[in-house]
Amino acid sequence: MIRPFLSTNHTMRTMNTTARRASTRLATLALATAVTGLLAPRAAMAQERMTVAPQEQPVVLRGATIHTVTKGTITNGTIVLDRGKITAIGGPEVAAPRGAKIVDVAGKHIYPGLIDAYSTVGLTEIGSVDVSNDIREQGDFNPNVRAEVAVNAESRHIGTTRSAGVLVAFSTPEGGVISGLSSAMSLEGWTWEEMSMKGAAALNVKWPDPNARPGGRFGGGGPGGRGGPAGPPPKTYAEQVEQIKEWFSEARAYRDAVKSNQTVRTDSRYAAMIPALDGAIPVVVAAEGAAQINDAITWAKAEGVKLVIRGGRDALFVADRLKAEKITVILTSTMSAPDRQYESYDNAYATPGKLHAAGVKFAIAGGSGGLYSYRLPWEAGVAVAFGLPEEEALKAVTINAAESMGISDKVGSLEVGKEATLLITSGTPLDMTSNIIQSYIQGREINMMDIHKLFFQKYMEKIKQQAPKKITP
């Protein structure tokens, strides 16, 4: 049965709560900056990065080896960037537009900017400071939560993430069961509005674990504690799955009522689910175990939604079905130790290579923590060391990630008409020994400074100042 739809008052309360949190967080970060300025004036003056203006002058990069990802590799290549787009790409014969800035990048490599398909960069800052973390809302049913509006454009994690070659991130809310909407964010801009590429890129669902003890997920009850009244009994796995089905059924009824011009109360939660029900955006289901993945696939087919699996620890056991159903997997644990006694030490490292051999399409994510998105290229790099072809590893952090979330028309490869979001490197960005020399985001030549580099300079200066003085006889 369809429950009565909530009024817009619920939406306003949610928006007001988010606004208050954002305001408090900005005030706290401003105070921290002020304190830092008192303690370290030089660091405060330098800052770790500066946002640059949109591209105004055409830029021509000449002489590099261009790795397009989708259209092969071009040696001694030329790529033209104009008004934030790639307008030409080819060999040395490509002409430069009038008034263009010519950049000699001979001996270097050019790659598309890397894409993190599961990130909280900008949503979380300092783990021990609650107001600097805005990744979840109260309750289990929050499909209307949009991650983009909570992204802090001043986050220090943005600089360190970009320095590793990650230029696009899918900011993803967490918490509850239907957590909200992932947003594709370009990691350059003064505000979240300027950074946003696609505000509603995917709807996120956390699939219950059939092996978990009842009450471990949503709806768990138990005694109220300290003599309080007992809560509702814990929900079984079947009841939890039924709850997800009920939410989608209600959203479908809401959509149909709106389309048929029936009078219904506006409910932002059900309205946010309509693009997923219509197949315009995918439903990203967080599922690790084989049973979870299988049940999620069965459910998605019954619902008629486009499914992406995130997590995928046991995806290899379901590889045949994933391949047959053409379901993309976002792997989130490539650089992790085994968590079950019977697993070999290289279980997570080797999974991408085995999935590729099985014909399963996948992306590799850097883990959701804002602290660790900068590790994305190495998450893919370790998979290369354990059997994944390098070109497939590069796809897993570029075009595959872009296609899974519906932004492959903008980023993910180097092609005419796409955004000029790219890296100039000394070698493959998947290797720790390579250097990211310069990055461009939508044609902007971004400031490559970050807090890690700032501290390096600061403490190298300390060593220089405190080095023993040579005594001249």
Q: Domain extents for the chain? A: 47-113+413-473, 114-212+233-411
Helices (H) and strands (E) in the chain, counts: 13, 16
pLDDT at 8: 35
Q: Tens place of pLDDT for every residue, the chain, 473 residues?
A: 333 333 333 333 343 444 444 444 444 444 334 333 333 444 444 456 788 999 999 999 999 999 999 999 999 999 999 999 999 999 999 999 999 999 999 999 999 999 999 999 989 888 778 778 888 888 999 999 999 999 999 999 999 999 999 999 999 999 899 999 999 999 999 999 999 999 999 999 999 999 887 655 444 444 444 555 666 788 899 999 999 999 999 999 999 999 998 888 999 999 999 999 999 999 999 999 999 999 999 999 999 999 999 999 999 999 999 999 999 999 998 988 888 888 899 999 999 999 999 999 999 997 656 677 889 999 999 999 999 999 999 999 999 999 999 999 999 999 999 999 999 999 999 999 999 999 999 999 999 999 999 999 999 999 999 988 777 77
Closest by alpha carbon to 161, among 453, 372, 399, 334? 372
pLDDT at 145: 93
Tracing tokens 């009994």 back to the chain, one arrives at 233
Specify whether the CB–CB gap between 223 and 231 falls below 8 A.
yes
Specify whether the CB–CB gap between 142 and 175 falls below 8 A.
yes
Q: What predicted TM-score, i.e. pTM, was given to this entire model?
A: 0.85
Report the chain's C-alpha Rg in angstroms: 24
- Region 114-212+233-411: CATH code: 3.20.20.140
pLDDT at 11: 37
Tracing tokens 């992406």 back to the chain, one arrives at 308
pLDDT at 21: 46
Going by DSSP bridges, is the β-strand pair 436-441/422-425 parallel, antiparallel, or unpaired?
antiparallel
pLDDT at 114: 98
The contacts found for 14-21 with CB under 8 angstroms, 24 or more apart, are 14/137, 14/144, 14/145, 14/268, 17/137, 18/134, 18/149, 18/150, 21/131, 21/134, 21/150
What is the third-level CATH fold of 47-113+413-473?
Urease, subunit C; domain 1 (2.30.40)
How far separated are the first and last CA of the chain, in Å rounded? 94
Angle between helix 376-385 and helix 347-357 axes, rounded to 10 deg: 70
pLDDT at 307: 98
Q: Which amino acid is at 228?
A: G
Beta bridge partners of 115: 168
